[in-house]
Amino acid sequence: MRIALVGCGYVADMYMQTLPGLTGLSLAGAYDHDPDRLQAFCKFHAIPAYASMDALLADDSVQMVVNLTNPRSHHAVSRRALESGRHVYSEKPLGMTMDEARDLVDLARTRGLWLAAAPCNHLSDVVQAMGHFLRTDRARFGRPLMAQAEMDDGLVPFLRPETWRSISGAPWPARDEFEVGCTLEHAGYQITPLVSLFGPVRRVTAFSTCLLPDKVRAVGGSVISPDLSVGMLEFDGNIVARITNSIIAPSSRTLRVVCEHGVLSMADVWEYHTPLRFSPTGMTLPARLTRKAEKYLSPLLPGLLLGRRLPVRHGRQVPRTQGGHHMDFSRGVAQLAAQAERQATVRMDAALALHVTEVTLALQDGARSAGGVTMQTDLQHDHAFKG
């Protein structure tokens, strides 16, 4: 499928580094409203540049638009692409509000087009393997009871983010990140795997606050958004998940699923090759030794994950993006293209993007969700991995 990128900022370089080797995709070119940024990006990657959005949409060879603009532009850019008859893969969030997100979903449905949004890390081999074990080896692991999901990026405002640059020279969008807020920017990296494991979230109870308001003014911004949120997500089957999002707490992107017979864990949901481990409960000697080792090593290595490493069958080897992780940003684009061409099972769609957006906004708005909010969206397809 022929695709075109709209937006040539920091994250666009991550997509460009992970596009090579993906089958079924060819890149027609890119567009950015900043001519200097467009020229630098396209020159660095040796790809064609469109002079305008109109020029991109006038190219009849383009079948899908990959929307990599800043979050406040997602709705407008995605809408123009859908109105022109193109499938759309958008960076998160799908929209800044549920009204924006629903508008895009309704438009895509009306036009018979595919629409999806990042993140796509639920497609990683490790998350797939976790789902496989949970569903096919209940005797070994027992029933899943709860999950602990961390999305903490460290004390970002004090890490000189104004100096961060992508490989083509794009600055890290500090103002957008701080004004939009880390929950709206990053919670999906945990919500999407959780939904793929347990199905749709039914209820959200949340707390959110801004602990460092001065960070926004330091980068020329004025909108104060939460830099910390904590939430409880309730799923069918009496399964619950506790999720944290912050740019305050020490860096941690762990996902633990506590089952009746032990704990399945992955150290980093951004790393597609992170180990998948199982720590059994009980009073067997291996279980007792594992717990004791974790206890005595925790002062030196907080959050240390021990336990037996489980086998994970890795397909595509994901390169480490410069300034990033072993995270396959473009895998979702390839997945959506394959679905549009009816060559793949549905793993990403508009309903999933809308549901993740609703859960994320509930976490962001802790005042509204403090007493618990029932989710109004659901999934059209079973995104859970059957193994």
Mean pLDDT across the stretch 310-338? 89
Task: State whether 284 and 155 are in the same domain.
Answer: yes
Q: Which residues contact 336 (CB under 8 A, 6 or more apart)?
A: 64, 87, 89, 114, 116, 348
The 10s digit of each residue's pLDDT in 224-262 is 999 999 999 999 999 999 999 999 999 999 999 999 999
Q: Which residues contact 162 (CB under 8 A, 6 or more apart)?
A: 171, 172, 174, 219
Token code pair at residue 311: 């086998």
| Among candidate residues 54, 34, 257, 249, the one with its CA nearest the CA of residue 152 | 249
Does a structural domain hold residue 382?
Answer: no
Does a structural domain hold residue 380?
Answer: no
Does a structural domain hold residue 69?
Answer: yes
Number of structural domains in the chain: 2
Mean pLDDT across the stretch 21-32? 95
Task: State whether 40 and 156 are in the same domain.
Answer: no
Q: Give residue 383's pLDDT band: very low, low, confident or very high (50, 70, 90).
A: low
- Report the pLDDT value the prediction gives residue 304, as an integer from 0 to 100: 67
Q: Which residues contact 184 (CB under 8 A, 6 or more apart)?
A: 71, 92, 93, 96, 225, 360, 361, 364
Per-residue pLDDT for 269 more than 90? yes
The 10s digit of each residue's pLDDT in 1-21 is 999 999 999 999 999 999 998
Of 117, 133, 159, the one marking the end of a domain is 117
Structural domain span for residue 299: 122-374
Per-residue pLDDT for 348 more than 90? yes
Q: What is the DSSP letter of 122?
A: G
- Report the pLDDT value the prediction gives residue 387, as an integer from 0 to 100: 38
Per-residue pLDDT for 119 more than 50? yes
Task: State whether 332 and 244 are in the same domain.
Answer: yes
Question: What letter represents residue 169's amino acid?
Answer: G
CA distance 319 to 123: 16
Task: State whether 297 and 159 are in the same domain.
Answer: yes
Q: Which CATH number goes with the domain that contains 246?
A: 3.30.360.10
CA distance 107 to 102: 8
Q: Give residue 386's pLDDT band: very low, low, confident or very high (50, 70, 90).
A: very low
Assess contact for 13 and 166: CB atoms under 8 A: yes
Of 117, 147, 176, the one marking the end of a domain is 117
Task: State whether 130 and 107 are in the same domain.
Answer: no
Mean pLDDT across the stretch 60-84? 99
Does a structural domain hold residue 381?
Answer: no
Does a structural domain hold residue 379?
Answer: no
Angle among Cα 120, 123, 124 to the nearest 5 degrees reads: 105
| Averaged pLDDT score across all residues of the chain | 93
- Specify the range with the lowest mean pLDDT, choosing from 258-262, 308-312, 319-323: 319-323
Mean pLDDT across the stretch 108-118? 98
Per-residue pLDDT for 55 more than 80? yes
Task: State whether 267 and 289 are in the same domain.
Answer: yes
The 10s digit of each residue's pLDDT in 185-202 is 999 999 999 999 999 999
CA distance 384 to 381: 9
| Among candidate residues 200, 186, 187, 192, the one with its CA nearest the CA of residue 128 | 192
Task: State whether 176 and 98 are in the same domain.
Answer: no
Token code pair at residue 250: 């020490």
Task: State whether 111 and 243 are in the same domain.
Answer: no
Task: State whether 279 and 359 are in the same domain.
Answer: yes
Give the start-end residues of each E strand in 194-340: 201-209, 228-235, 239-246, 255-259, 262-266, 276-280, 308-309
Q: Which CATH number goes with the domain that contains 96?
A: 3.40.50.720
Does a structural domain hold residue 327?
Answer: yes
Of 62, 85, 117, the one marking the end of a domain is 117
CA distance 135 to 126: 14
